[in-house]
Structure 1
Amino acid sequence: MTTEPSATAAPEWKEWHERRTAAVAAPYGPLALTGTHWLADHPAGRLPGIPGGWREAGDEVVLTAAAGDGLTDGGRPVTGEVALGADTGAPGDSRIAAGGRRLVVLRREGLWAVRDFDPESAARRAFRAIEATEYDAGWTLPGRFRPYAEARSVRVENADGRERGLGLGGEIAFTVDGTEHTLQVAVEADGSLWAVFADTTSGHGSFRFRFLRPAAPAADGTVTVDFNRALLPPCAFADHFICPFPPPGNTLPFAVAAGERSVRTG
């Protein structure tokens, strides 16, 4: 794999950064999330600030609402009961709405929750920019993916203080200043990779951890490890996401002076 930077790499990074900023600032982007309410924490079925009654029913959630609750399902008023599964699309496409808000049904490890996305959120109004380091070809590194013989799961703390399983399918190896380092990664359905990592800038110039999403490795296992595209996790934009913290071994012993660093508000 060549390490020679492409002449278009820096402009492509700038376009990527602009698209990323637009997606974050979109009406139902991560800045719009104002709450994640676990139904198990509200056995009476009343969720804070959300109309209607919500209860678990095995593999679905049952919403009960009256016309006065102002809820709609696909644009039609909800009156009575409606069975809901987990939403799988973008928040703006969720079935249930309360005026301009979108109520997204979520399931994690067998537990149900409802997320409240509000385009008028304080975080969205205050957002100004994603602070990111300008493109540096030195942080686009050749790497190699080493799959595990069997997928594994580790328990890690999440941003909401709870511990959950994080699935891992292998590791990526790369070299910085002559020393090989590795990051454990999940393998997504399309073959792309996902790492949750920290470094010596975490909490000191950048958010406490970040995500890296390399493209699917080539047939021989080679993969580009581009820290210029290190991402802030969703919980950097709103406190109500449940981002996993880095698994053991995914804290790099050097400063990754590249990628997204923090959220600028004003």
Structure 2
Amino acid sequence: MTDATAPDAAAAADAGSAQHEAFRRKRDQSVRAPQGALALTTTAWISEPTTVEGVPGTWAPSPTGDGLQVTADASAGIVVDGQTVDGDVAVYSQSSMTPSSVRFDDRLTAFVIGPDFNGRCALRVWDAEAAVERGFTGISAFDYDPAWHLQGTFEAVEGGVAFEYGKSQGGTLRQALSPGRIRFERDGQQVELVALPDGDSLQIVFADATTGDESYDVGRFLFVRPRHDGTVDLDFNRAIVPPCAMSDQYNCPLPPAGNRLAFPIRAGEQRPTFAA
């Protein structure tokens, strides 16, 4: 009678490692993309007609409040939703039913975000060559460790779990509701986390004993999707650095107090690296 446990465990480890390598390749491609995290060069919040550095046109709040309005003649070469701008054109926000795309040339593209709490929208400009010009070489990461692929539980809470968090660019604390509590066990101790809703997933913003030393100063993100039975995969090998690690145009959430862990999680991304 043979013991299949060891071969099965080895096969599972190999499969996990292969899946992790595929995740790392996809992640690298994502941040290098023409509108990846490295490409964001401008976030211009607009409350009155103005110009935006580096791109043509006059930009103003949309009369309907669901985006911006750009004014330019055809010689500026601005293309909105496939049509060259010649006069006044509405540019709808990403949060609208019909978000607009903007192209300035072969390198520069844009879209609109907002409105924010003050009713303002912003033009976000992306440079497809930014990663190359900045000498981006990759994102350093801890070695893959299957021990950090944990099974946790998600407990939904009626009305949510209230918590506060800061933002990487400062300002007042923000109020948020986690739809429930995420728990996992570490060295015999129960760990409890809260998360921000992110579509059909949850975004865990956390810090640990590696933060600011072995990993990025602000903390890291982990996206999870609880199952209907209340279980949840917590694969910290897929923890990622926030986009503010790659562009100062992002204003990322900081880990709330309960998500600041005293132990090290030596799995997942550490920080972006650039050529000297």
Provide TM-score, normalisation by structure 1. Answer: 0.88
Shift of 1:81: 0.7
Match of 1:145 among 140, 154, 159: 154
- Do structure 1's residue 98 and structure 2's residue 108 form an aligned pair? no
Shift of 1:55: 1.4
Q: Aligned residue for 1:74?
A: 81
More deviation, 61-70/27-36: 61-70
Shift of 1:22: 1.2
- Do structure 1's residue 206 and structure 2's residue 215 form an aligned pair? yes
Amino acid at match of 1:121: A
1:88-127 mapped onto 2 (5 Å cutoff): 95-100=101-106, 101-107=108-114, 108-109=116-117, 110-121=119-130, 125-127=134-136
Q: 1:124 to 1:157 in 2, by over 3 A?
A: farther
RMSD between aligned residues: 2.2
Mapped contact 1:234–1:243 kept (Cα < 8 A): yes
Shift of 1:125: 4.0
Where 2:179 maps in the other structure, the secondary structure is: strand
Q: Aligned residue for 1:217?
A: 226
Shift of 1:155: 4.6
Match of 2:57 among 38, 52, 61: 52
- Do structure 1's residue 34 and structure 2's residue 41 form an aligned pair? yes
Mapped contact 1:145–1:170 kept (Cα < 8 A): yes
Q: How many Å separate the matches in 2 of 1:140 and 1:189?
A: 23
More deviation, 44-53/173-182: 44-53
Shift of 1:133: 1.1
Mapped contact 1:173–1:182 kept (Cα < 8 A): yes
Mapped contact 1:31–1:123 kept (Cα < 8 A): no
- Do structure 1's residue 179 and structure 2's residue 189 form an aligned pair? yes
1:98-154 deviations in whole A, cap 9, x for unaligned? 112111100133431111100122675411011011211111111111222113564
Mapped contact 1:31–1:124 kept (Cα < 8 A): no
1:183-239 deviations in whole A, cap 9, x for unaligned? 10123332x22111111111111012100011x222221111111110111111111
Q: How many Å separate the matches in 2 of 1:155 and 1:139?
A: 27
Amino acid at match of 2:93: A
The structure number with the bigger radius of gyration is 2
Where 2:195 maps in the other structure, the secondary structure is: strand
Match of 2:144 among 135, 138, 151: 135
Q: 1:44 to 1:152 in 2, by over 3 A?
A: farther
Mapped contact 2:164–2:175 kept (Cα < 8 A): yes
Mapped contact 1:28–1:118 kept (Cα < 8 A): yes
Q: Aligned residue for 1:20?
A: 27
Match of 1:235 among 223, 244, 248: 244
Q: How many Å separate the matches in 1 of 2:261 and 2:17?
A: 25
Amino acid at match of 1:149: E
1:23-74 deviations in whole A, cap 9, x for unaligned? 111222111111111113xx34222222211111323321111223221113
Structure 1: runs of 5 or more not aligned: none
Amino acid at match of 1:194: Q
Q: How many Å separate the matches in 1 of 2:269 and 2:191?
A: 21
Shift of 1:166: 4.0
Q: How many Å separate the matches in 2 of 1:162 and 1:105?
A: 22
Q: How many Å separate the matches in 2 of 1:220 and 1:204?
A: 37
Where 2:75 maps in the other structure, the secondary structure is: helix
Q: Identity of paired residues, percent?
A: 36
Q: How many Å separate the matches in 2 of 1:116 and 1:193?
A: 27
Mapped contact 1:123–1:238 kept (Cα < 8 A): no
Q: How many Å separate the matches in 1 of 2:76 and 2:138?
A: 36
4+ runs deviating over 6 angstroms: none
Structure 2: runs of 5 or more not aligned: 1-8
Where 2:69 maps in the other structure, the secondary structure is: strand
